[in-house]
Chain A
Amino acid sequence: DAKTTQPPSMDCAEGRAANLPCNHSTISGNEYVYWYRQIHSQGPQYIIHGLKNNETNEMASLIITEDRKSSTLILPHATLRDTAVYYCIADSGGSNYKLTFGKGTLLTVNP
């Protein structure tokens, strides 16, 4: 599993876009980038994943650099309910079908 580096905390104003960075400079060719979030005291929630191309779903967008060494999760219009710890994971998910969670980034959305 590739190691990921995330800032421990970030702030964002409500209604603005939240851009959460993740560094995964040792990622290998078959490893995907996954994002999960954990709202206080709840179980983590899957957000999005991608390999090379940028991805978008109803929750967020994932931008992966061309060299795949870093990525950014974008919440286009952050709300107070988006306050959570966001985990970036780089993993092949391969033979063991499991993921390794780090400490993530605490995103605080302020009114």
Chain B
Amino acid sequence: NAGVTQTPKFRVLKTGQSMTLLCAQDMNHEYMYWYRQDPGMGLRLIHYSVGEGTTAKGEVPDGYNVSRLKKQNFLLGLESAAPSQTSVYFCASSNTGYEQYFGPGTRLTVT
């Protein structure tokens, strides 16, 4: 039981490049979330999903897109990366929305 895994762990992008972050969970959870965390800040919700095939915007959705084609996977896409998107990205899953299980994070640097 791996819990929540994130791929990749680290990535450096140049401004304008695109990439997709993958989150996978093996707990059969309905809800999945993408957060970003900037230095000295709490977590801010980017997008979330309350079930397979559904997505919704969180607090800071601009510049990101998501997809939940399979229940166990939640993808976060950056179509045209900007330096302001340099951050640590955390994925989480839950069956209640309250007890969320987090992945180890992806550290993204955009130069």
Instruction: Name A residues whose Cβ lies closer than 8 Å to a Cβ of B.
Output: 32, 34, 36, 41-46, 49, 87, 91, 93, 96-104
Contacts and interface: CB of A to CB of B under 8 A. Distances in A.
B101 A98 contact: no
Interface residues of B, number: 29
Contact of A93 (B40, B48, B90, B96): B96
SS class, residues of chain A in contact with chain B: loop
Nearest to A43: B102
B104 A97 contact: no
B45 interface: yes
B94 A97 contact: yes
A19 B44 CA distance: 26
Contacts of A87: 42
Contacts of B31: 97-98
Nearest to B49: A97
B96 A45 contact: no
Contacts of A46: 99-101
Interface of B: 4, 31, 33, 35, 40-45, 48, 50, 56, 58-59, 88, 90, 92, 94, 96-105
Given A44-B43, A103-B41, A93 B105 contact: no
Given A43-B4, A96-B97, A101-B35, 12 more contacts: A42-B105, A43-B90, A43-B102, A44-B43, A44-B90, A44-B92, A49-B99, A91-B98, A97-B31, A97-B96, A103-B42, A104-B42
A44 to B, nearest CB: 5
A102 B98 contact: no
B97 A93 contact: yes
